[in-house]
Amino acid sequence: MGLLDDKVVLVAGGSQGVGAAVARAAVRAGAVVAVTGRRPAPGEELVAQLTAGGGKAMFIRADLSDAGQAKTVVGDVVAAYGRIDCLVNSAGLTSRGTLLDTTPELFDRHIAINLRAPFFTMQAAVEDMLSRKAPGTIVNIITSSAHGGQPFLAPYVAAKAGLVGLTRNAAHAHRWDRIRINGLNIGWTATEGEDATQKAFHGAGDDWRAEAAAKLPMGKLGQPDEIADFVVFLLSERSGVVTGSVIDWDQNVLGGLD
């Protein structure tokens, strides 16, 4: 028996990176999976990989920065599979900005993707669960930078810190409905998006991963497949009654000083 046998899982922002890893892990655990993305090519390629191995999966093209689309993707899943059991919010924008150089437009973009989108996907998912009087689970992929972060991540930190508060608020509000909501504050992770970010904003070369890993306690960056296995655990009944937890999934210890 898989941890997510017969569960319907939506991975919002799941066409690459951590989201794609979660989709793969969920299918391996027995789930039916829907993933969203703005670009059809990577999403459709991922679904082809998942279904080629015998899994059940679908791709939904959507721009989650649009609150309406953030809600309708849940409706698309319910229309296709009859319900939604689990939701993972993994979409994220990491473009740089400090307190002094962030424009209102950049700030709004971060809020739209990193906070407003998960708010409304959660709203729609919880509405379906309540309509069926059924339990459910939600995991929000957040960031260790929500504790403060670097100066060049000001709008990102503002939005993600808001998602920490939202995770706890929603978990408290719906604990009596048996809807469990948790979050992961992930650290520096080796993803396609991070590769693009390092090259675009920090002038990194192709060997930046090896250089970064050498400076980290465990000798490697966080790996999407490791995060994905943990997400599947939190989505599953094996994580018991845990709700409202925002777990630091990182190799640096908050408050630890050298």
Which pairs count as long-range contacts for 122-125, CB under 8 Å and 24+ apart, including other chains? 122/87, 122/89, 122/166, 122/170, 122/181, 123/71, 124/70, 124/71, 124/72, 124/73, 124/74, 124/75, 125/10, 125/74, 125/84, 125/87
Using the predicted structure, report yes or no on whether residue 179 has a pLDDT greater than 70: yes
Q: Is the pLDDT assigned to residue 142 strictly greater than 90? A: yes
Instruction: Find all residues with CB under 8 Å of 127, minimum gap 6, and list them.
Output: none
Span 107-120, average pLDDT: 98
- Give the per-residue pLDDT at 199: 85
Percent of the chain with pLDDT over 70: 100
- Between the alpha carbon of residue 204 and those of residues 41, 76, 78, 191, the distances in Å are 26, 39, 42, 14
pLDDT tens sequence across 217-228:
999 988 999 999
**45 vs 67: CA distance, rounded Å:** 26
Q: How far is CA 237 from the centre of its chain?
A: 19
Q: Write down the pLDDT at residue 14.
A: 85
User: In which band, very low, low, confident or very high, does the pLDDT at 11 lie, cut at 50, 70 and 90?
Assistant: very high
pLDDT in tens, 17-33: 999 999 999 999 999 99
Is pLDDT above 90 for 174? yes
**Cβ(69)–Cβ(43) under 8 Å?**
no
Q: With bands split at pLDDT 50, 70 and 90, how would you rate the model's confidence at 1?
A: low
Q: What is the mean pLDDT of the chain?
A: 95
For residue 193, being part of any structural domain is answered with no
Structure tokens at 39: 């670009």
What pLDDT shows up at residue 159? 98
What is the pLDDT averaged over residues 140-145?
96
Which pLDDT score is estimated for 190? 75
CA 118-89-63 angle, 5° bins = 65
196 belongs to a structural domain: no
Of all residues in the chain, what percent carry a pLDDT higher than 90? 83
Bigger pLDDT: 235 or 206?
A: 235
Helix (H) or strand (E) holding 53: none
Tokens 């966080």 label which residue? 222
User: Is the pLDDT higher at 1 or at 57?
Assistant: 57
For residue 30, tell me if it sits in a domain. Answer: yes
Q: What is the CATH number of the domain that holds 22?
A: 3.40.50.720
Q: Is residue 210 in a domain?
A: no
215 or 99, greater pLDDT: 99
In a domain, 182, yes or no: yes
Q: How many domains are there within the chain?
A: 1
Which domain covers residue 227, as residue numbers?
8-187+222-249
Is residue 81 among the annotated active site residues?
Answer: no
Residue 197, in any domain of the structure: no
Reading the block at residue 144, the tokens are 């260790």
**Strand ordering across the sheet containing 179-186:** 56-61, 32-37, 8-12, 86-89, 136-141, 179-186, 246-249
Name the catalytic one among 81, 120, 156, 249.
156
Q: How far apart are the first and last CA of the chain?
A: 45
Rounded CA gap, 200 and 195, in Å? 9
Residue 163 lies inside a defined structural domain of this protein = yes
For 33-46, what is each residue's pLDDT tens digit?
A: 999 999 999 999 99
Tokens of 216: 């980290």
Mean pLDDT, residues 179-185 taken together: 98
Q: Is residue 179 one of the residues assigned to a domain? A: yes
| Candidate from 48-57, 95-104, 198-207 with smallest mean pLDDT | 198-207
Asked if the model's pLDDT at residue 164 lies above 80, the reply is yes
